Structure 1
Amino acid sequence: MKEQVTDISKVLQDMTTEMRLMRETIGLQYAEIAKLNRNIESLNRQIRKKDEENARLKERLSKYEKPKKNSGNSSTPPSKESMKDEIVRRTKTLRKPSGKKPGGQEGHDGHKLSCSSMPNEIVYDAPKYCTNCGESLADAERVLDYVTQVISIPELKPVVKEIRHYVMICKSCGERIRTAPRRKSNDVIYDASVKSLVVYLSVVQFLPYGRIASFLREVFGVAPSEGSLVNWVREAKRNAQPAIEKIKEYVMSSSVVGFDESGCYCNKRLDWAWIAQTVYYTLLFRADGRSSKVLTDKLGDSLERMTAVTDRHSAYFALHFLNHQVCLAHLLRELQYMSELNTKQNWSGKITDLFREAIHERNTNPSTVIPKTSWTERLDSLLKINVSSLGKKFETVKKGLIKCRDYIFNFLEDPLIPSDNNGSERGIRKLKIKLKNSCTFRSDLGADAFLELHSIVETAKKHNQTPFNAIQALFGA
């Protein structure tokens, strides 16, 4: 039989109590769940922070696991290399071994000093006594055995030349006549030979003024002040202005010009030194930046008639050159780093072999016009390969090659275009040596003087003239 409910109020009361207890239980469970959710969110935030920190640490550690960038596999200058990398650079070369033994090869013409036909002094070397019996050899027969010549530097001491200036009095009119106006400065002066040597030591040997003054004092016994040295360099700069203008004209009229730029510390700031050079002329100048506007202001519309040989600095590609050739030496160093970064892949090695083969083809046929179409097609086939699995660095290199593909093999079609920009880099490298010795230029005039005189020196070398003779010509010596 079914149970009969006799007291409805009691049943409702019991149900109300149970519902209240259930609400309390649900409330406690909800609070616990909210607390757990907050703890979970906090843990998730901590995990995300740990993941981010782990990624940063992995990135920092990656530079110790990946090959270092140096001047052999990147555009890192030698001055910023570590000691270990410098040792490797000085003892290792990127050139492939030829299989030949080191040293002079068979059939190579030897070289030695030749005897002078007119020696300044002759010394007779003959024994005076017989080592066998002790007899005097004063009256003995003398037979020439052999001849040697010894080269020595003459005694270095200044030659003081006194010039006595006379005034001639004309008998007819009584006028007092001089050969030249009387000097108003010191009666003792230095001539062009001393000035030329100072400029040579400063511009060609990159010595600071203090070391030049010390050298002159200790070796020659002359002691000009450092202020005099500065004045002589400035005098050479003034005398060089017509030649600098002529060099600029020749560079502007040239069909193939190599460009490069480098930092130049001057008067407590960072300026930029630029070089524009051809086979026969070199022009260096200073600017406050490295934008394309610098070349536009300096060389004007002549840029539109030039084939520029440069690295891949963006400023060069913003200019309207007639044609362009990117430096393959830069690309080969970058590809060398890719090969060191991942030794299991051969993509970078194939492109390296292609570039080296093209350079060898030009070197083998220096005056032949070689169509670049087939070479560009071979490069395109390599650039179509998917390198995303090799990492972002490989994708970056690939994009860079695609961007400049039209400017890689132009040197094959024009024998006048070099495959690299090494000439410009060598020309501007001397500035870095000067800064390494002197740390900085203390004035704008000093920096401009070095760059302009260095232009004279480099141009003279390209015309088979010695730098010292070129500097002497500036002083009329």
Structure 2
Amino acid sequence: MSREELIALARALAERTVILEKENAELREHVAVLEQENAALRERVARLERLISRNSGNSGMPPSADDLPGKKQPKASSAARGAGKRRPGKQPGAAGVSLAWSDEVAERDMVEHFPEGACGCGADLAGAADLGVTGRHQQIEIPLVTARRLQHNLHTVACRCGAVHTAARPDGVSSAPVSLGVNLQAWCVYLLVVHAIPVHRCVELVASLTGAQPSVGFVHGLIARAAGLVASANARIRALLTLAYVVCCDETPIRVGPKKAKKYLLVACTKVFTSYMLGDRDMATFKRFVVAGLTGVVVHDRYQNYDSAELGEHDHQLCVAHLLRDLQDCAETYPGAAWPAQIQIALRGLIHAANLAREQGRDAIAEGTRRMWISSFRHGVRVGLSEVRRLPGPAKTVTQPVGRVLLEVLRDREDDVLRFARDLRIPPTNNQAERDVRPAKTQQKISGRLRSERTTAHRYAIRGYLSTAAKHGADVMTAIRDALVGRAWMPPDPTPA
């Protein structure tokens, strides 16, 4: 090739190199963008897989949500029903009810039965000689209920001194010429509030069982009326809760009112008291609730509002059942790690030791047992913190690895996690509150959305009153009847510790 041809070829190669370098730079930029998108997609898939894996065994989700489409079922464990020693139904040591024979049967309740028909010889058995009772069978039965119309005649009498006296209307009898009796009203309130039966179905049920035909409007109005009549009892319940040494608290979202409205139903309770409040999902609701006035230990599920300084200074007991489920999530996320199981075993060991000490009438867990389990707990937390490292950066923009925040809570709030192990008066979980709030979740499944915020508040005012009465051993129907006649049941003064 000539000199000119070589120069032209070199220039062409140089231009081609520039073009290739430019295309290569564009490809590198495109690859970088794809890598960023791929990383974002991997993170998104991981989040979605984590959401799908949530169930009642590794999160605070209710067991009813485990049956939703696409949900991963909880892993069977030795503590699960059917997998361990615990069997369904009555547990060993629990109080039972048996159908025992009774020798105190009233004469009117004895039903005599004689053979009927004809003998083989043709004689009528009605004239046969009675040889006495040869078999006895007792049956507990209820009579068929039929509503009766009772007429109350109020007489007026004149004393010999000239004074005139008129009989007073009995309790529960309205001043109207015709009204529904207090027993019938109590049945309606019981069905509406305790069993979450809708108003129209309640009317149909009462009509089917008794033959009475109350109006839908009257039955619906009983909710507001009963709520007003138990207001003084609920005020006393709230006051007694603020004086309690330990109070379990819980909250659940509830759909009530307009379609976009979401409220919170909050419950504060002990073994003998229950108080509900319907409010918004904000701090102002918690400040109005009984929690703000509590003087004792608050057992809760680690919801951030309970730790707010706006509610005052409290001692806390973090619900260990929630912690165990979060630790189960860590065990599934890090299948090769030993620390989640170690912490779970330590917490369960402390709960068992506390229960055993109560059953034996002791004031505290044996010191050696307590030190052993607390030491195991602390070592498990330390190992977890060393294996699950905190990512640098602000909390609002950086998502920490699964379990990191939980481990920091177990380390930094050890007193609030293990308070139950040092004071047997404190329960390790807020299960009492979850049991008291469960009817709200059941009703929401039935109704979907409650239309009236005011009526919902009235329902739970009545329910708190009835729950407290039942915890004190009072009959629920009697408590309703007493409230409807203006003599609402009142909780007694607390027993000094």
Do both share a fold (TM > 0.5)?
yes
Identity of aligned pairs, percent?
A: 22
Q: State the SS of the aligned residue for 1:407.
A: helix
1:38-437 aligned at under 5 Å gives the runs 38-59=22-43, 62=46, 68-83=53-68, 94-95=79-80, 99=85, 111-115=98-102, 117-118=105-106, 120-128=108-116, 137=125, 138-140=127-129, 142-164=131-153, 179=168, 187-268=177-258, 269-291=261-283, 293-299=284-290, 302-303=293-294, 305-319=295-309, 320-366=312-358, 367-370=362-365, 375-385=373-383, 386-388=386-388, 392-437=401-446
Q: CA RMSD in A?
A: 3.8
Does 128-137 or 369-378 show the bigger shift? 128-137
Offset, 1:75: 0.6
CA distance in structure 2 between the partners assigned to 1:89 and 1:219 by the alignment: 43
The one-letter amino acid paired with 2:216 is E
Q: State the SS of the aligned residue for 1:355.
A: helix
Does 423-432 or 37-46 show the bigger shift? 37-46
Offset, 1:27: 4.8
Does 278-287 or 332-341 show the bigger shift? 332-341
Aligned counterpart, 2:393: none
Does structure 2 conserve the Cα–Cα contact (< 8 Å) formed by 1:267 and 1:444?
Answer: yes
Match of 1:457 among 457, 466, 473: 466
Change (3 A) 1:132 1:354: farther
CA distance in structure 2 between the partners assigned to 1:376 and 1:143 by the alignment: 72
Does structure 1 conserve the Cα–Cα contact (< 8 Å) formed by 2:316 and 2:416?
Answer: yes
CA distance in structure 1 between the partners assigned to 2:174 and 2:321 by the alignment: 57
Offset, 1:248: 0.8
Does structure 2 conserve the Cα–Cα contact (< 8 Å) formed by 1:208 and 1:437?
Answer: no
Change (3 A) 1:280 1:176: closer
CA distance in structure 2 between the partners assigned to 1:246 and 1:233 by the alignment: 20
Flag structure 1 segments of 5+ consecutive residues without an equivalent: 1-16
Does structure 2 conserve the Cα–Cα contact (< 8 Å) formed by 1:66 and 1:341?
Answer: no
1:432-443 aligned at under 5 Å gives the runs 432-443=441-452
Change (3 A) 1:332 1:301: closer
Is 1:467 the counterpart of 2:476 in the alignment? Answer: yes
Flag structure 2 segments of 5+ consecutive residues without an equivalent: 391-399, 488-497
String of CA shifts for 1:106-156, please: whole Å, max 9, x gaps: 999882254462264433333347877666554345142221133443233
Does structure 2 conserve the Cα–Cα contact (< 8 Å) formed by 1:259 and 1:274?
Answer: yes
Offset, 1:51: 3.2
Q: Answer with 1 or 2: which has the greater Rg.
A: 1
The one-letter amino acid paired with 2:285 is V
Change (3 A) 1:326 1:300: closer
CA distance in structure 1 between the partners assigned to 2:452 and 2:346 by the alignment: 47
CA distance in structure 2 between the partners assigned to 1:40 and 1:227 by the alignment: 79
Offset, 1:54: 3.9
The one-letter amino acid paired with 2:54 is K
Offset, 1:251: 0.5
Does 87-96 or 406-415 show the bigger shift? 87-96
CA distance in structure 2 between the partners assigned to 1:431 and 1:132 by the alignment: 65
Change (3 A) 1:171 1:25: farther
Offset, 1:259: 1.1
The one-letter amino acid paired with 1:422 is N
Change (3 A) 1:72 1:468: farther
CA distance in structure 2 between the partners assigned to 1:287 and 1:107 by the alignment: 41
Q: State the SS of the aligned residue for 1:392.
A: coil
Q: State the SS of the aligned residue for 1:69.
A: coil
Does 265-274 or 377-386 show the bigger shift? 377-386
Does structure 2 conserve the Cα–Cα contact (< 8 Å) formed by 1:247 and 1:283?
Answer: yes
Work out the number of aligned pairs and report it. Answer: 456
CA distance in structure 1 between the partners assigned to 2:321 and 2:440 by the alignment: 21
CA distance in structure 1 between the partners assigned to 2:207 and 2:409 by the alignment: 55
Does 423-432 or 55-64 show the bigger shift? 55-64
CA distance in structure 1 between the partners assigned to 2:116 and 2:24 by the alignment: 109
CA distance in structure 1 between the partners assigned to 2:121 and 2:70 by the alignment: 66
Does structure 1 conserve the Cα–Cα contact (< 8 Å) formed by 2:389 and 2:404?
Answer: no
Match of 2:15 among 17, 22, 31: 31
CA distance in structure 2 between the partners assigned to 1:105 and 1:195 by the alignment: 37
Does 327-336 or 85-94 show the bigger shift? 85-94
Offset, 1:197: 0.8
CA distance in structure 1 between the partners assigned to 2:15 and 2:160 by the alignment: 129
Change (3 A) 1:42 1:338: same
